[in-house]
Amino acid sequence: MGRSVSCCGITCSGKEERLLDARVSQKNIGAIYDRIAPVYDIWGKLTESRARSRAIELADIKDGQHVLEAAVGTGLAFYEIVKRNPHGTNIGIDLSQGMLEKARKRLSKLSGAHYALDKGSVFHLNVEDESIDILVNNYMFDLLLFEEMGKVLKEFKRVLKRGGKLVLVNMTEGERFGSGIYDFIYRISPATMGGCRGVALAERLQAQSFRVETREYYQQMLFPSEVVLAYK
């Protein structure tokens, strides 16, 4: 079950952020996810599926919209996006060619759908200014250095239309019993966690002038996720 959390009650500890800053270089992320692409769906369904499903629900996609998923992975969310928006514009990007190949295979099951899947970076989106109605991003900010997050949020803000919707899902700081096991593993071996560690983004969104509508906490197989809905 998810739980709504008041944004004003979310605080960031500078000490904790320093301890758990990203320790896997962005230049290595693509290769890491190329290797784990064949088994990622198993992990995704066991630990991320409830948070991902809630994100799609909050996105509330209407057919004919312009939707971008940044860091599309194996297409678990993108499939649901395209299915809901068959006549709209659906763009998916990822750093990992292995993940994109899995996504293409998944999306090939949808006949007559409109979508594009390409390799791309969230730091430089190949998308026009204020052209996107909904931007979805699953499990990527937990890979970034804290100092890089603002740059990506500015790029997201650039491509979103005024009043456009941003839906984020991330590994987050654990709030329930047992959730700390994943950050413990990360401290020992970041690559074992695919480079992911717990982060909290609501305040960072507000610092970039996004209006945060809701932030919900999910825990599945002890794995802690946050789902954030915000507007430009």
Q: Is 100 helix (H, G, I), strand (E, B) or coil?
A: helix
Chain length of the chain: 232
Tokens encoding 199: 């982060």
pLDDT of the residue at 11: 39
pLDDT of residue 19: 52
- The pLDDT of residue 13 is 41
pLDDT in tens, the chain (232 residues): 454 443 333 334 444 444 579 887 888 898 999 999 999 999 999 999 999 999 999 999 999 999 999 999 999 999 999 999 999 999 999 999 999 999 999 999 998 889 999 999 999 999 999 999 999 999 999 999 999 999 999 999 999 999 999 999 999 999 999 999 998 999 999 988 989 999 999 999 999 999 999 999 999 999 999 999 999 9
Q: What is the pLDDT of residue 27?
A: 82
Q: Return the pLDDT at 23.
A: 81
* CB 192 within 8 Å of CB 25: no
Q: For residues 232 and 161, is the Cβ–Cβ distance under 8 A? A: yes
